[in-house]
Amino acid sequence: MDKSSSSNLVHKVILGAVGLVVLCGLSFYGGLSYQKGKQPSPQVAQTNVANGGFGGRFGRGGGIGSVTAVSPSSITVNNTRTSTSKTYTINSSTTITNSGATATVADITTGSTVLVTPSSSDPTIASTIILNPSFGPGGGSLPGGSDSGASTDSQVYTN
């Protein structure tokens, strides 16, 4: 090999390496930009808590907490983690369960732990109330008989 073809080969290798580094850098930057667009902003969760919701993964304002008041037509739940309380209307469409079995408002007592899912049409109305919710294996079950702990809420927020 003569000196000019050897030099030409070195230039091609260096140019290829530089091109590869630039391509990798642009791909990395593009991936970061894409990921930023896919994560909910912290303001979404903060706004939800500020508006009286529990925040967390219950983006429509529902959540888990301790019952501070209950009547045949309403329930007030206190989230001890965020120190927020929310009152929900109980109506004839509200489903109440305890360990997977049908329950009634009379089964709910002050101090009970409940998981409340609000109505999709009105976040002040309780759609479902689960007494003594359990998210681990072998405990109670979620609506539909699943112990998976998966939320039926289509909005998922991280803390």
Q: How confident is the model at residue 96 (pLDDT cuts 50, 70, 90)?
A: very high
* 73/93 Cα distance (integer angstroms): 12
Lowest mean pLDDT among 30-34, 79-83, 154-158: 154-158
Express each pLDDT in 61-82 by its tens digit.
Answer: 678 899 999 999 999 999 878 8
Q: How confident is the model at residue 39 (pLDDT cuts 50, 70, 90)?
A: low
**pLDDT at residue 70 in the model:** 95
* 116/105 Cα distance (integer angstroms): 13
Q: What is the mean pLDDT of residues 122-146?
A: 70
**pLDDT at residue 151 in the model:** 38
* 23/26 Cα distance (integer angstroms): 5
Q: How confident is the prediction for the chain on average, in pLDDT?
A: 75
Statement: residue 42 has pLDDT above 70:
no
**Can you spell out the DSSP letters for the chain?**
--HHHHHHHHHHHHHHHHHHHHHHHHHHHHHHHHHHHHSPPHHHHHHHHHTT---TT-TTS-EEEEEEEEETTEEEEEETTTTEEEEEE--TT-EEEETTEE--GGG--TT-EEEEEE-SS-TTBEEEEEES---STTS--BTTTB-S---S-S-----
* 4/82 Cα distance (integer angstroms): 72
And the tokens for 75?
């329930």
Statement: residue 19 has pLDDT above 50:
yes
Q: How confident is the model at residue 58 (pLDDT cuts 50, 70, 90)?
A: very low
* 106/15 Cα distance (integer angstroms): 77
Predicted TM-score (pTM) above 0.75: no
Q: What is the mean pLDDT of residues 17-31?
A: 90
CATH architecture for residues 44-131: Beta Barrel (2.40)
